């Protein structure tokens, strides 16, 4: 009996290894009550996997990475400085928006631009996000910057205050899994035309290595020593439906090779734990597939 069970387990394992990554992910998602957009790109085109890649899905806070790109562009042009002081009055802190800055400085603060950028990207701070958007000319300036990178499937219309004031507004800040992944590829892949200087890109990359949100998503099931540079996005829940549980970024394999990965879980009737686990399991499948 034990031999039979062992043979069954071995055959199941061999079957899983022989399945394509796309098939593994598709099989895993069959019983999930959610729309899931997936884009996986290994070493800039050596192998690609897509599930619902062109479906327009709400980005939520993932767009804060693109705000970071625009801020660094303005720094490079001399229009902003990472060391400049931004005064944040107490009235700005009087908000229901999620904000570690607000929690630490409820009576207002004077912070360096570099601090606000780190809070915004690594901690997904909404007060910091809207302050940065004001500095760089608003959401449409960020959209223009991304479209200049060759990305067309994206719309950045609202700041965090407006986006979170009405449930429907979040759907106007949308992108696709394919486009989100391509943004990271166009930004960080060595074969791509540089969008900023290496110094600026390294700075943003390291901020996202230290991302505090979404620890149970792309990073959730990976070995602890694996480097992941990523940005998350999360909506609230209305009538039992979560609009967005997102994560996109770069998994660095022990070999140094890179997996660019985006998973956007939308219109989900699953609970938060399951939504995050969907992302974690897909990331682990990709890791195991390319780490052979």
CATH number of the domain at 75, please: 3.40.710.10
pLDDT band for position 10 (cuts 50, 70, 90): very low
Question: Residue 28: in which H helix or E strand, if any?
Answer: helix 21-29
Q: What is the per-residue pLDDT for 122?
A: 97
Q: Is the pLDDT of residue 292 over 90?
A: no
Q: Is residue 9 part of a domain?
A: no
Tell me the mean pLDDT in the region 168-192. Answer: 96
**Residue 15 banded pLDDT, cuts 50, 70, 90:** very low
Beta strands in the chain (DSSP E): 35-42, 47-51, 57-58, 85-88, 109-112, 154-155, 174-175, 227-234, 237-238, 241-252, 258-268
For residue 1, name the pLDDT band (cuts at 50, 70, 90). very low
> What pLDDT, in 10s, does the model give residues 106-161?
999 999 999 999 999 999 999 999 999 999 999 999 999 999 999 999 999 999 99
The predicted-structure confidence for 157-174, as pLDDT tens digits, reads as follows 999 999 999 999 999 999
Whether 206 is catalytic: no
Contacts by 280-283, CB closer than 8 A, 24 or more apart: 280/216, 280/217, 280/218, 280/219, 280/220, 280/221, 281/28, 281/221, 282/25, 282/28, 282/38, 282/40, 283/217, 283/218, 283/219, 283/220, 283/221, 283/222, 283/247, 283/251
**For 57, phi and psi rounded to 5 degrees?**
-130, 150
**Percent of the chain whose pLDDT exceeds 90:** 90
Q: Is residue 53 part of a domain?
A: yes
Crossing angle for the helix pair 113-122 and 198-209, nearest 10 degrees? Answer: 50
Residue 215 phi/psi, 5-degree rounding, is: -65, -15
Please provide the average confidence, as pLDDT, over all residues in the chain: 94
DSSP assignment, residue 176?
A: -
Which of the pair, 17 or 199, is modelled with greater confidence?
A: 199
Domains identified in the chain, total number: 1
What contacts 66, CB < 8 A, 6 or more positions away? 142, 145, 146, 156, 183
Q: Is residue 133 part of a domain?
A: yes
pLDDT band with cut points at 50, 70 and 90 for residue 19:
confident
Query: Is residue 82 one of the residues assigned to a domain?
Result: yes
User: Strand, coil or helix: what is 82?
Assistant: coil
Examine the pLDDT at 7 and tell me if it is beyond 60: no
pLDDT at 207 over 50: yes
Q: How far is Cα 197 from Cα 252, in angstroms, rounded to an integer?
A: 21
Rounded CA-CA distance 218/197 in Å is: 27
Q: Is residue 213 part of a domain?
A: yes
Does the global pTM surpass 0.85? yes
CA–CA separation, 40 and 65 (whole Å): 19
Domain that holds residue 40: 21-290
pLDDT of residue 2 exceeding 60 = no
Q: What is the pLDDT of residue 46?
A: 85
The Cα–Cα gap between 123 and 157 comes to: 22
Whether 270 is covered by a domain: the verdict is yes
Kindly state whether residue 183 falls inside one of the protein's structural domains. Answer: yes
Q: Is 15 part of a structural domain of the chain?
A: no
Q: Does 61 qualify as catalytic in the annotation? A: yes
Confidence at residue 17, expressed as pLDDT on a 0 to 100 scale: 52
Contact in structure between 266 and 58 (CB atoms under 8 Å): yes
Q: What integer is the mean pLDDT of 265-275?
A: 98
Residue tagged active-site, from 143, 160, 270, 276: 160
What percent of the chain clears pLDDT 70, i.e. is strictly above it?
Answer: 94
- Smallest Cα–Cα separation from 265: which of 218, 195, 221, 228? 218
């Amino acid at each position: 009996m034990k031999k039979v069970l062992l043979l069954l387990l071995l055959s199941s394992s061999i079957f899983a290894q022989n399945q394509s990554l796309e098939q593994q992910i598709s099989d895993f998602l069959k019983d999930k009550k959610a729309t899931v957009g997936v884009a996986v790109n290994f070493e800039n085109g050596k192998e690609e996997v897509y599930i619902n890649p062109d479906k327009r899905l709400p980005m939520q806070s993932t767009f804060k990475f693109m705000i970071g790109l625009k801020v660094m562009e303005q720094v490079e042009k001399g229009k902003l400085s990472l060391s400049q002081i931004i005064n944040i009055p107490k009235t700005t802190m009087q908000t229901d928006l999620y904000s570690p800055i607000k929690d630490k400085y409820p009576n207002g603060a004077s912070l360096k631009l570099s601090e606000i950028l780190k809070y915004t990207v690594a901690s997904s701070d909404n007060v910091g996000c809207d302050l940065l958007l004001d500095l760089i000319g608003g959401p449409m300036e960020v959209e223009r910057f991304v479209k200049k990178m060759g990305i067309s499937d994206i719309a950045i219309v609202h700041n965090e205050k407006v986006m979170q004031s009405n449930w429907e507004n979040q759907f106007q800040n949308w992108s696709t899994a394919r486009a989100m992944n391509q943004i990271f590829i166009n930004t960080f892949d060595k074969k791509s035309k540089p969008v900023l200087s290496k110094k600026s890109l390294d700075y943003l990359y390291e901020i996202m290595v230290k991302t505090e949100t979404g620890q149970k998503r792309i990073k959730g099931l990976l070995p602890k020593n694996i480097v992941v540079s990523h940005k998350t996005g999360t909506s609230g829940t209305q009538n039992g439906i979560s609009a967005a549980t997102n994560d996109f970024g770069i998994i660095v394999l022990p070999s140094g090779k890179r997996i660019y990965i985006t998973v956007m879980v939308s219109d989900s009737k699953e609970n938060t734990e399951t939504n995050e686990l969907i992302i974690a399991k897909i990331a682990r499948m990709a890791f195991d597939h390319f780490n052979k």
